[in-house]
Structure 1
Amino acid sequence: MQDLLDIHTHTLASGHAYSSPREMVAAARRKKLALYGMSEHTTLMPGTCHDFYFANLKVIRPEDDGIELLMGAELNIIDYGGSTDLMQFYLKNLDYAIASLHNPCIPPGTAEENTTALIGAMRNPKVCILGHPDNPAYPVDLERLVRAAKENRILLECNNSSYSLNSSRSGSREIGVQMLDLCRKHGVPVILGSDAHIDLDVGNHDNCMEVLAAADFPDSLVVNYDIDFFKSFLPKK
């Protein structure tokens, strides 16, 4: 199956990434992706862009030499109710949002607190993906999370960076296999995200492929192989 998209990526605007938007798009073109998305960290992440960045996304062309572009954000979940850190005024400009738990923005809670936070973030109408939900620093009730993802039509992410052997989220592979087992059981689709912070990693889902293989996960539940399937999870305009 051909991997057609990558929408969890970060450019220089995120503060701790190393390539420009044009370099990232060029890398997506070289990888022959059909769809590419930029998802900068939102404002409570140290060093990232100001809210105003998300007010000016209109200057980005929706297509670039045959590649469809989406402009999103990786929202920080900031409390155990699932609130996020970007105001509605700016959220309305996004094509999509990823919601994630990050140490600089919220301390790890109990499994109950972390699960409730992720499920609460699903209520944000722009959120269609939960980023790296298998991070061992934030233990969750996987059964409850997978069932909630199905009920709310939210994609759970397999994060290539998390599954790297030198990842700061060591242990994600093992939890990822457990998550995928439950997704297969309940028929819940997943998305592969590179979490690229440099152009060399755009479209790189090699670690994800290893975890999918370990879980014997069906291609039919991976949205990266079907653009229309993926778009069915995007928030309505």
Structure 2
Amino acid sequence: MFLQGDMHTHTIASTHAYSTIMENCIWAAKYGLKVIAMTDHAPCMPDSPHIWHFENLRCLPRTIEGVTVLKGAEADILEDGSLDLPDRTLKNLEWVVASMHGYEGCLMPSTAEKHTQLYMKIAENPYVDVIGHCTTARFPFDFEKTLKVFKEYGKLVEINESSIMNKKGSRENSVEVLKLCKKYEIPVVIDSDSHFCQLIGQTPIAEQMVKDLEFPQELIVNASEERIKEYLKKKRPALEI
């Protein structure tokens, strides 16, 4: 197993996913993962759970099947650069992925300049941990300019296996993003974006990319349980983990 944490996963609470929290944790344990983040879609997306889903994540135990569980969300970046969850909810979450999806009622694809502006604004959001699947062709942006800002504000850049497999342009863009992250020493996470329990932590294409590029493993935060917990302790000192 290359990864020790999968920081972007979905459950049946996002209705185009097909497994429960328990099933995800069981398979994470089988694969030897140490950490899993539960990041179902926030309210902007058509299949998202009610906001109470995110408010009530506190009822989950810290570990399930021996795997540390982070209570999180995949929030959508909106037209004004905000997220589709209120700050009162975001501040109580333990892991926040910020993404662009392109559905009616959410942010729709625009120009590279507009996407760059929005990413740079979301980088300033203190509740965001990860910039999710930013390699899709639908949302082009100025990679070099924006990635430097992500580093400045401590945002992790996601290399997303599901996008590489299924989204146009993502494979090529992921290579370019990894090259720039290597050049500027920008930390990344490699995630499955799993929508079914047996895919938790499975990232063979992304893993081959980082090997081919000789990408420094110390920059892959979720390749180490220690690095994940160091990141969390630095950002959320009160979090008991």
TM range (shorter): over 0.9
Are 1:93 and 2:87 counterparts?
A: no
The two structures, once aligned, show a CA RMSD in angstroms of: 1.4
Which residue identity lines up with residue 63 of structure 2 in the other structure?
Answer: E
Q: Distance in 2 between matches of 1:132 and 1:215?
A: 19
Q: For residues 205-224 of structure 1, what are the structure 2 equivalents within 5 Å?
A: 205-224=203-222
CA contact (8 A) 1:173 1:211 kept: no
CA contact (8 A) 2:4 2:225 kept: yes
CA contact (8 A) 1:153 1:233 kept: no
Which residue identity lines up with residue 193 of structure 1 in the other structure?
Answer: D
Q: Distance in 2 between matches of 1:123 and 1:5?
A: 25
Between 219-228 and 184-193, the greater mean CA deviation after superposition:
219-228
Q: Paired residue for 2:172? A: 174
Offset of residue 160 of structure 1: 0.5
SS in 2 for 1:13: coil
Q: Paired residue for 2:125? A: 124
SS in 2 for 1:36: strand
**TM-score for the superposition, normalised by structure 1:** 0.94
Q: Paired residue for 1:191? A: 189
Q: Distance in 2 between matches of 1:116 and 1:229?
A: 30
Which residue identity lines up with residue 222 of structure 2 in the other structure?
Answer: N
Q: Distance in 2 between matches of 1:159 and 1:214?
A: 17
CA contact (8 A) 1:122 1:128 kept: no
Which residue identity lines up with residue 63 of structure 1 in the other structure?
Answer: T
Q: Paired residue for 1:62? A: 62
Structure 1: segments with no counterpart, 5+ residues: none
Offset of residue 233 of structure 1: 3.3
SS in 2 for 1:161: helix
Offset of residue 184 of structure 1: 0.7
Q: Distance in 1 between matches of 2:14 and 2:125?
A: 22
CA contact (8 A) 2:2 2:207 kept: no
SS in 2 for 1:210: helix
CA contact (8 A) 1:177 1:214 kept: no
Q: Distance in 2 between matches of 1:74 and 1:232?
A: 21
Q: Distance in 2 between matches of 1:225 and 1:152?
A: 21
Call closer, same or farther: CA 1:25–1:230 in 2, change over 3 Å: same
Which residue identity lines up with residue 171 of structure 2 in the other structure?
Answer: R
Are 1:106 and 2:107 counterparts?
A: yes
Structure 2: segments with no counterpart, 5+ residues: none
Offset of residue 109 of structure 1: 1.5
**TM-score for the superposition, normalised by structure 2:** 0.92
Q: Distance in 1 between matches of 2:96 and 2:51?
A: 14
CA contact (8 A) 1:98 1:131 kept: yes
Offset of residue 123 of structure 1: 2.0
Q: What is the total number of aligned residue pairs between the two structures?
A: 233
Offset of residue 89 of structure 1: 2.3
Offset of residue 211 of structure 1: 2.2
Are 1:34 and 2:37 counterparts?
A: no
Q: Distance in 1 between matches of 2:81 and 2:211?
A: 32
Q: Distance in 2 between matches of 1:2 and 1:216?
A: 14
SS in 2 for 1:132: coil
SS in 1 for 2:40: strand
Q: Distance in 2 between matches of 1:62 and 1:194?
A: 21
Offset of residue 152 of structure 1: 0.6
Q: Distance in 2 between matches of 1:129 and 1:163?
A: 17
Residues 45-89 of structure 1 show CA distances to partners (whole Å, capped at 9, x for unaligned) of 00210111111112100012321110110000011x421100122
CA contact (8 A) 2:75 2:97 kept: yes
Q: Paired residue for 2:144? A: 143
Q: Distance in 1 between matches of 2:117 and 2:179?
A: 21
Residues 83-121 of structure 1 show CA distances to partners (whole Å, capped at 9, x for unaligned) of 110012221221010000011121111111101111211
CA contact (8 A) 1:97 1:126 kept: yes
